[in-house]
């Protein structure tokens, strides 16, 4: 115990380890950059064959397992074998396999023929079964990935532990990079490729093989737009599509397909955008219904079955289904955008390519693969020809060959003796020695010799192809023609020009109805329908509050609130909820986002701002100004305008002047005057303070104003002034009560 304490004490007094400074640039270069390059090159970004390493390792494993023919095998077996090439967990490998299957519906041309439940690309809720329950084999279409792979078409490299060989690329006989959609996110880079129709891709590639200088216009003609496995309508904007083809970057807008069932009064969504799921669509519909924003819909449900995708939306009676769908396309993922980014690894270097450039790079890659394959076959044919030429030497004297073999004493001398007897080399002699006794007849030997002419023709033809780029391109084109003939499918995504699409306008989808509006002095605003107001005219108000304005309008009517801070807030009646007369209504400052202590002082109705109408602003310091109403007209949908009138003195009255009228001014010291608005000059500067209308004694202020002097006096005689600044006249006794009544 004492020894242990002593050791702890000694450790406690040991000096700290020395700290070595390391520049951040060195840290990034030695630690971070190798990781970055590994993710980019070995994991996330597809290469010119259209595959990421995980796809390539899986498919090659299945090829070596002989799954191009024969029966399916358990997916777990494939996953286990793939782990010899792919140093990742079994679940990651299985997820890769699932996406390549026919059952998952992620690809236009699946590479794996599957049996069992593999989920669906269009549903995040439909999960795949475990690998021990599902079965797979390579689809017939996958044979186009491996043509020439056993003939040195591509480089074979060591796997991660050096125990096996795997292809660096797959020698695809068609531009798979354009046919198979892909998504990869690396470090600082990302790639997202859309799928195109195989027949269109073949046509465009053949056109470029015939004319390498072909432009974007021709490619757009042959490949007008992507083609997604989930179908739908592609809304084609010519300029946006051209940008995508030229730069490799750009969005593709996809819209759902639907049919209206008149008998059931429902909409059946049959195809949705490739970039969304049925769960995302239903979540948005649920949100809208909870917010009472989808009154035309009574219910919706997932009706996916063995026949395929189906989302049903039940409608209320009398609803226009096409009009409703225009709104849903705008406000839900039933219309979605697929952002393309054609970042591809070319010789291990990431490059962002336009569509024509992708085709050119694939042609270069395919030409290299085909050259290597033809060179391999040429070597094999020359080797066979060499053996057959040796066999031809013994044709005229088979008995001599037999005699040489029989008379040779040692086995090791047979080959040298044959070489000397017929003037052939050792390889030819070894071939002759291996011929079985039953084949030492003239018929067998003549048949083998007849192959010489065919071989010589094939060798000459192959050498011509290898020496002529035009011949090589014709061969690639013929292969593409054959692929199109065997595997072409009609387009799944129909194309609609953007000019044919009806533009969504919110106004067309807003329910409109008559309504009554009330604004109170405290800033509360009520929207009450005819039905709610009928038989209940008594308005609930806060204590000491009163109604200052009322309007008969519609749900879509425009309103403009002038505030005491010299600002205007624009809104529409539909921005406010309907309420009952027994409710206080909505507090305008909170609803429209006023500043603290900011209050509405006037409310204007209607969208029109005519030139022959003025706004009259009266201030507590006795001044007033008229501003043309047209000065407040703005373009666009600006919700807030600032600097609308002077705030030097508090505003005590705001009026809309279509023709001159009288205004009663009441001061805080019990005096009054009536002045016509015709005496107030018009100013073009909105923040002008105006002119002195009322002559005030020192310290006095205008308390309030009204445009209805008759409500205060039976006769304004004695108070009416014809010049400004106007002097005030004392109010009779009880003016405070009179003011309160006003």
Active-site residue set: 133
Q: How far apart are CA 239 and CA 513, in angstroms?
A: 41
Beta-sheet pairing, 662-667 with 623-628: unpaired
Measured over the CA atoms of residue 87, residue 92, residue 94 and residue 100, the dihedral's sign is: negative
Helices and strands (DSSP H and E) totals, the chain: 21, 34
CA angle at residue 124 from 119 to 130, to 5 degrees? 40
Q: How far apart are CA 588 and CA 561, in angstroms?
A: 9
Q: How far apart are CA 742 and CA 735, in angstroms?
A: 10
Q: At 673, phi and psi to the nearest 5?
A: -160, 150
Q: How far apart are CA 285 and CA 290, in angstroms?
A: 9
Closest listed residue to residue 272, CA positions, set 233, 306, 237, 300: 233
Q: How far apart are CA 80 and CA 688, in angstroms?
A: 83
Helical (H) or strand (E) element with 442? helix 442-467
User: Whose structure tokens read 């400004």?
Assistant: 724
DSSP 8-state code for residue 397? G
Task: Kindly state the tokens that stand for 167.
Answer: 């292809």
Closest listed residue to residue 676, CA positions, set 659, 652, 695, 696: 659
Closest listed residue to residue 90, CA positions, set 77, 99, 103: 77
Beta-sheet pairing, 233-236 with 249-255: antiparallel
CB 553 within 8 A of CB 605: yes
Q: How far apart are CA 382 and CA 392, in angstroms?
A: 15
Measured over the CA atoms of residue 196, residue 200, residue 201 and residue 204, the dihedral's sign is: negative
Q: How far apart are CA 134 and CA 152, in angstroms?
A: 34
Instruction: Give the CA count within 13 Å in the CB-facing half-sphere of 429.
Output: 20
The residues facing 705 across adjacent strands are 665
Q: At 424, phi and psi to the nearest 5?
A: -120, 165
């Amino acid at each position: 115990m004492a020894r242990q304490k002593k050791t702890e004490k000694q450790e406690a007094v040991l000096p700290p380890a020395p700290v070595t400074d390391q520049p951040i640039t060195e840290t990034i270069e030695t630690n971070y950059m190798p990781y970055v390059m590994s993710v980019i090159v070995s994991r996330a970004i597809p290469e010119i064959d259209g595959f990421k390493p995980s796809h390539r390792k899986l498919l090659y494993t299945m090829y070596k397992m002989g799954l191009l023919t024969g029966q399916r095998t358990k997916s777990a077996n494939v996953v286990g074998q793939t782990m010899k090439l792919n140093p990742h967990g079994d679940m990651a490998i299985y997820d890769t396999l699932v996406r390549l299957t026919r059952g998952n519906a992620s690809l236009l041309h699946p590479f794996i023929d599957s049996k069992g439940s593999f989920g669906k690309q269009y549903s995040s809720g439909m999960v795949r079964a475990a690998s021990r329950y599902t079965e797979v084999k390579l689809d017939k279409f996958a044979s186009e990935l491996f043509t020439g792979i056993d003939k040195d078409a591509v480089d074979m490299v060591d796997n991660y532990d050096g125990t096996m060989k795997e292809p660096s690329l797959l020698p695809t006989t068609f531009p798979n990079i354009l046919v198979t959609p892909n998504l990869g996110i690396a470090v600082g880079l990302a790639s997202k490729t859309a799928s195109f129709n195989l027949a269109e891709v073949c046509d465009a590639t053949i056109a470029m093989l015939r004319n390498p200088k072909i432009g974007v216009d021709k490619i757009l003609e042959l490949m007008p737009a992507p083609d997604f496995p989930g179908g739908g309508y592609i809304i084609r904007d010519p300029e946006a599509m051209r940008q995508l083809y030229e730069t490799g970057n750009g969005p593709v807008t996809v819209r759902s397909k639907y049919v209206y069932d008149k008998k059931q009064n429902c909409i059946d969504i049959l195809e949705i955008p490739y970039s969304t799921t049925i769960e995302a669509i239903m979540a948005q519909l649920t949100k809208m219904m909870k917010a009472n924003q989808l009154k035309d819909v009574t219910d919706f449900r997932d009706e996916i079955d063995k026949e395929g995708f189906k989302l049903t939306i039940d409608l209320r009676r009398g609803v226009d289904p096409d009009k409703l769908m225009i709104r849903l396309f705008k406000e839900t993922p039933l219309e979605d955008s697929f952002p393309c980014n054609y970042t591809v690894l070319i010789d291990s270097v990431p490059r962002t390519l336009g569509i024509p450039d992708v085709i050119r790079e694939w042609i270069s890659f395919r030409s290299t693969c085909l050259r290597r394959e033809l060179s391999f076959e040429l070597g094999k044919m020359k080797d066979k020809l060499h053996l057959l030429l040796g066999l031809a030497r013994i044709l005229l004297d088979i008995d001599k060959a037999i005699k040489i073999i029989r008379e040779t004493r040692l086995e090791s001398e047979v080959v040298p003796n044959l070489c000397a007897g017929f003037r052939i080399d050792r390889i030819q002699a070894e071939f002759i020695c291996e011929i079985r006794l039953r084949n030492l007849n003239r018929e067998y030997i003549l048949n083998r010799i007849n192959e010489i002419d065919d071989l010589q023709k094939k060798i000459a033809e192959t050498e011509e192809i290898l020496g002529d780029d035009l011949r090589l391109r014709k061969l690639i084109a013929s292969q593409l023609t054959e692929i199109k003939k065997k595997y072409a499918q009609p387009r799944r995504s129909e194309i609609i020009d953007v000019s044919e699409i009806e533009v969504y306008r919110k106004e067309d989808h807003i329910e409109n109805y008559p309504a009554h509006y009330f604004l109170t002095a405290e800033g509360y605003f009520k929207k009450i329908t005819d039905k709610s107001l009928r038989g209940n005219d008594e308005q609930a108000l806060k204590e000491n509050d009163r109604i200052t304005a009322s309007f008969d309008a519609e749900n879509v009517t425009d309103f403009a609130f002038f505030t005491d801070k010299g600002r205007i807030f624009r809104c529409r009646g539909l921005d406010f909820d309907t309420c009952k007369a027994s409710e206080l209504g909505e507090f305008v400052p909170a609803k429209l986002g006023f500043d603290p202590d900011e209050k509405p002082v006037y409310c204007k109705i209607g969208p029109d701002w005519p030139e022959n109408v003025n706004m009259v602003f009266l201030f507590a310091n006795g001044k007033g100004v008229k501003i043309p109403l047209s000065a407040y007209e703005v373009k666009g949908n600006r919700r807030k305008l600032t600097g609308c009138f002077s705030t030097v003195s508090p505003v005590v009255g705001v009026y809309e002047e279509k023709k001159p009228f009288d205004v009663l001014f009441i001061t805080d010291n019990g005096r009054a005057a009536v002045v016509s608005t015709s005496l107030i000059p018009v100013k073009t500067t909105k923040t002008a303070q105006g002119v002195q209308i009322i002559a005030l004694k020192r310290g006095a202020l205008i308390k309030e104003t009204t445009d209805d002097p008759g409500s205060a006096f039976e006769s304004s005689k004695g108070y009416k002034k014809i010049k400004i600044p106007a002097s005030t006249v004392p109010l009779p006794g009880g003016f405070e009560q009179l003011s309160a009544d006003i």
